[in-house]
Amino acid sequence: MSGRAGRAHVQTDLPGPRSVPLLADQAATESRARTYPRNSPIAVARGEGSYLIDVDGNCFLDFLSASGALSLGHSHPALAAAAQAQLATSTQLLDFPTPAKREFVSRLLALLPGPMRDRTKVQFCGPAGADAVDAAVKLCKTFTGRADVIAFHGGFHGSTQSTLALSGLRASMGHLGNLPAGVSFFPYSYCFRCPLDLRPADCQINCVQYLDNMLSDPQGGIGAPAAVVLELVQGEGGVIPARPEFVQRLSALASRRHIPLVVDEVQTGCGRTGSWFAFEQFGLTPDVVVASKGLGGGHPVAVILYDSRMDVWEPGAHTGTFRGNQLAFAAGAELMRQVTDDDLLGNVRKVGQLLRDGLHALAARYPFLADVRGLGLMLGVEMAASACWTASQVAREFQRAALCRGLLFELVGRGGTVARFLPPLNLHPAEAEEGLSILAAAAADVDRRPKPAAAADA
């Protein structure tokens, strides 16, 4: 398990006096695209297990985990040792075979469900998840000879131009003009705020039926697609798990129409939801799986895993200089060994349930904590407006109150109204209780604060 519990403490104002000049220097020299230090104004000195220590000596329980990339928290000794040993041998080797890569691939394939293991191919892409999403769509277009792609409202698949075209956040793309064409968006099973204004008890999964109807309609405006691209738990969209019925009907539709189903597991994969890949919990066999973030044990690596019948690449059809990251292979293989040997998935399920129960108890006390959801250790709480504040204001106040008490997390979803928690997979139950205690105090702080200034939500 990760470090000692009960360590979070904040002894200065935020930002602290030593953090201020580092944040100012960053603002002067780095792009305006920086995000995390805007809402969490700290300058980090080091990380230890489930905690971050800033340059002022403040210690934060880290429920951000580098946006889920640090599966075992900060500076995990076994992962660090594996990367250190590999560093003396080689670091980047394009797509040459190496012992480190062989071990990585063997362990990765062994973690797939039995029927998939012998017929899955691995494609190493550039180091980011967006690179792998781009490769997945490119492969599906090559395989099918088609051009159109189906994506979903609220989805997020990366910040490159091609992956933004698959994502629902209009603010990120409206000014870019000529993004890749041919992407059609359809409703996702966001039952808390149903896009069709239905209720789960009687909706008959009409969101999938609508897609089926449009594909059948000769005047529906879309052709036969090359791929359907899906997150099983929308991450940036607000930690929204798909309903199993939605996924199963969508999978059946794709199979019936011979449309490759691409499951984006960049955030949900590598144990985050309590199974190695989230699709295992939905009775699903995807045609293509995208994985990154936690896969490299803290080092960048991105892959697509796809059915061998789709292996239609010509040599050199998809390349990337940094697709042979040997440090990621060594640390990632060690991560997968620990997942297998130390029952980390069991810990994700157990501690995830502990956190979920605690969050539900908090939501019963504070109506502005409107919806608790997620799988495993990918959890979210959607905020509701109060008599005085918008939901976005509530979320920002809640985040700030928690940070000032020593808990780090980010806001996602429409209007930034969802608190997202991505703690390490080896989070100790006592650390989870510590996090819940901070969240309870933060909720109480928000509940008694006066209405913010009118400009606060600008």
Write down the mean pLDDT value for the chain. 92
Mean pLDDT of 257-263: 97
**Strand ranges for 20-167 from DSSP E:** 44-48, 51-54, 59-62, 120-124, 149-152
pLDDT tops 60 at residue 403: yes
pLDDT digits (tens, 9 = 90+) for 433-458: 999 999 999 999 999 877 655 434 43
Mean pLDDT of 137-160: 94
pLDDT tops 90 at residue 101: yes
The token pair at 97 is 């075979």
Give me the pLDDT at residue 201, please: 65
pLDDT-derived band at 145, boundaries 50, 70, 90 = very high
**Termini Cα distance of the chain:** 42
pLDDT tops 50 at residue 384: yes
What lies within 8 Å, CB to CB, of 152 at 6+ separation is 168, 185, 186, 187, 188, 229, 230, 231, 234
Q: Around Cβ 440, how many Cβ atoms within 10 Å?
A: 18
Architecture of domain 19-62+347-379+392-453: Alpha-Beta Complex (3.90)
Q: Around Cβ 253, how many Cβ atoms within 10 Å?
A: 18
Q: Looking at per-residue confidence, does 344 or 159 come out higher?
A: 344
Mean pLDDT of 266-274: 98
pLDDT tops 80 at residue 224: yes
Percent of the chain with pLDDT over 70: 92
The token pair at 445 is 């702080």
Q: Which amino acid is at 453?
A: A
Mean pLDDT of 31-40: 94
Q: Which amino acid is at 129?
A: G
Q: How far apart are CA 272 and CA 16, in angstroms?
A: 32
Least confident of 47-61, 71-85, 213-227, 351-365: 213-227
What lies within 8 Å, CB to CB, of 348 at 6+ separation is 271, 272, 273, 274, 376, 377, 425
pLDDT tops 70 at residue 169: no
SS3 category, 314: coil
Mean pLDDT of 182-202: 77
Give me the pLDDT at residue 88, please: 95
pLDDT tops 90 at residue 2: no
The token pair at 122 is 């691995």
pLDDT digits (tens, 9 = 90+) for 123-132: 999 999 999 9
CA 457 → CA 101, 299, 416, 418, 452, distances in Å?
A: 48, 36, 11, 15, 9
Q: How far apart are CA 446 and CA 394, in angstroms?
A: 7
Q: How far apart are CA 188 and CA 196, in angstroms?
A: 10
Q: Which of 275, 215, 201, 207 is nearest to 246 (CA)?
A: 207
Domain boundaries, the chain: 19-62+347-379+392-453, 78-341
- Say what the pTM is: 0.93
Mean pLDDT of 264-275: 98
Taking domain 78-341, whether its CATH number is 3.40.640.10 is answered by yes
